[in-house]
Structure 1
């Protein structure tokens, strides 16, 4: 991004993603598909954080740029394709349900010099928002963007950037996360411990993406949290979660945690083990990104998942794939 800006140009989502993934390789693994159904799904990639024990967290991700138009900063969350009244944001949240993962954005926000005129006057640990290290590539729940658009569409980009978390921070094994105090007071004990006690790996990623959503819910005048249980997702680490919507379009805890799984989904294993991928996957996303456990050691036998699974990740490009049609998205986990 800095290189393009120094050259008098502007970075773009597709190019920035390719540079990001190729530069981070082999620390991360990725596979890119030829199909692009972004017009229908509003989505680019499936991202998965995978721990050595197989616990993992997935996101359906759309890449967006924090743009400066004159003196106004924006992120085009309400983008619509010609002839379609639906916003890309609404399609992204709907498409995430297909894969049983939360919807999210990866924001490309340039460097500190690019953001120097950013109007956000809020801070992070007493540090100016726009000067945060590593914030050039940040992740945020689509529910945060949805709320920002609903409250103040004109300034939704800056507001969402403030709540976005640098990808490097949530992918790093260093440090501990602060507890999340849930609005619902009667939770499953395992879920309560997860929210209140420090976590690492994919569990920490899930908490860091949930944190601003929970903070927004605390500020909503939506009454007490609903104690009914959301419909469980097969394979989810937490199946007993509250069905509270607040002012979000979906049950926010269930949505944010449905992607936290006890084991690697079947289609990720298909990629890891060199099997043909199902058409319902390759026809609907641009690719898969896998961020393995940083503590996992490399292996001499890539492509197999076993003890220390995150260190055994190896993604390759399938040759002339002919995906079978016998696997339904609901069977992915």
Structure 2
């Protein structure tokens, strides 16, 4: 990004994604598919964050920041009527959380707009890390995400994604009455590894939810489950049904992809015993590949 900006060249989502993937491939498993990329703009990538006790899955689409008269703008695909919906539906079919990778450029490109993390002016380390930030698609409202403050509030720097949060998530008291003790502990104590990645997503959702005036939804009917499920499937099978202003049960939307064990195709990719064409055949057409990141549990 810096090299392009210095040469007065406009960088795009596809070229930056290719560079990011080529750098990441030295340390993580990257499996690109040969099928055509998305025709509207940047293709989607499946990202799995895995450790020895759990795994968290995302469907990620890149979005470039455009600055117009000091206003921040991202094309989240609402106007086309298809791109945002396609991302959400594809993520739901794969049981992943839809996420945008925001390419924010360098601090110079952003005029070193103050970040919320102990901003230090020009060359602020936290601002430098913000060049690639992740935002849950549920929070990507173009009418609201139009400046640095809302962008930073609703996203997290990619490099800080698995860093344990030093504070508990903001919880509405009535919602805590609908939560299992394990979920409350997850939300109020620091997490590491894949669970820290999931916490980074739900924390940002809950911060925005705390500012909404919509009443919390009543608890959903309890579902009786047989034994043997504790170490399979979702880490939190019973979640509050609250929807906030989104009309989506956001706890399930964000936390269902947190699994005790990663899907078979992820484990096969980690072992390098897989066929890329076979994996691609199980994915929607606009998925360009899979990335698997192995995290240590100590963060």
TM-score, normalised to structure 1, is 0.75
* Distance (Å, rounded) in 2 between the aligned partners of 1:169 and 1:49: 13
Which residue does the alignment assign to 2:236?
238
Residue 295 to residue 200, structure 1, CA distance change in 2 (3 Å): closer
Which residue does the alignment assign to 1:168?
159
Which residue does the alignment assign to 2:252?
254
* Distance (Å, rounded) in 2 between the aligned partners of 1:116 and 1:99: 38
Of 287, 290, 294 in structure 1, the residue corresponding to residue 289 of structure 2 is 287
* Distance (Å, rounded) in 2 between the aligned partners of 1:129 and 1:194: 34
Helix, strand or coil at the partner of 1:38 = coil
Which residue does the alignment assign to 2:33?
33
Is the contact between residue 74 and residue 158 of structure 1 (CA under 8 Å) also seen in structure 2? no
Which residue does the alignment assign to 1:263?
261
Is the contact between residue 133 and residue 155 of structure 2 (CA under 8 Å) also seen in structure 1? yes
Q: Deviations over 1:178-214 (max 9, x none)?
A: 2113321221111111111111011001011111111
Which residue does the alignment assign to 1:221?
213
Helix, strand or coil at the partner of 1:190 = helix
Which residue does the alignment assign to 1:316?
none
Helix, strand or coil at the partner of 2:18 = helix
Which residue does the alignment assign to 1:10?
10
Q: Relative contact order, CA 8 A, sep 6+: which one is greater? A: 2
Which residue does the alignment assign to 1:62?
61
Q: Please, which runs of 5 or more residues in structure 1 have no aligned partner?
A: 297-333
Is the contact between residue 192 and residue 297 of structure 2 (CA under 8 Å) also seen in structure 1? no
* Distance (Å, rounded) in 2 between the aligned partners of 1:270 and 1:212: 32
Which residue does the alignment assign to 1:98?
93
Helix, strand or coil at the partner of 1:212 = helix
1:158 is displaced (CA, Å) by 6.2
Instruction: Tell me how many residue pairs correspond in the alignment.
Output: 282
Q: Deviations over 1:140-180 (max 9, x none)?
A: 100111xx33x547x278623442100111145xx544211
Residue 152 to residue 295, structure 1, CA distance change in 2 (3 Å): closer
* Distance (Å, rounded) in 2 between the aligned partners of 1:100 and 1:41: 23
Q: Deviations over 1:265-320 (max 9, x none)?
A: 12212333423334122744111111211579xxxxxxxxxxxxxxxxxxxxxxxx
Q: Are 1:196 and 2:191 matched, yes or no?
A: no
1:75 is displaced (CA, Å) by 0.6
* Distance (Å, rounded) in 2 between the aligned partners of 1:21 and 1:191: 33
* Distance (Å, rounded) in 2 between the aligned partners of 1:40 and 1:10: 18
1:42 is displaced (CA, Å) by 8.2
Q: After the TM superposition, which parts of structure 1 deviate over 4 Å for at least 4 consecutive aligned residues?
A: 39-43, 128-131, 229-234
Is the contact between residue 55 and residue 194 of structure 2 (CA under 8 Å) also seen in structure 1? yes
* Distance (Å, rounded) in 1 between the aligned partners of 2:90 and 2:221: 22
* Distance (Å, rounded) in 2 between the aligned partners of 1:112 and 1:157: 11
Q: Please, which runs of 5 or more residues in structure 2 have no aligned partner?
A: none
* Distance (Å, rounded) in 1 between the aligned partners of 2:24 and 2:194: 18
Is the contact between residue 2 and residue 110 of structure 1 (CA under 8 Å) also seen in structure 2? yes
Residue 287 to residue 255, structure 1, CA distance change in 2 (3 Å): same
1:70 is displaced (CA, Å) by 4.7
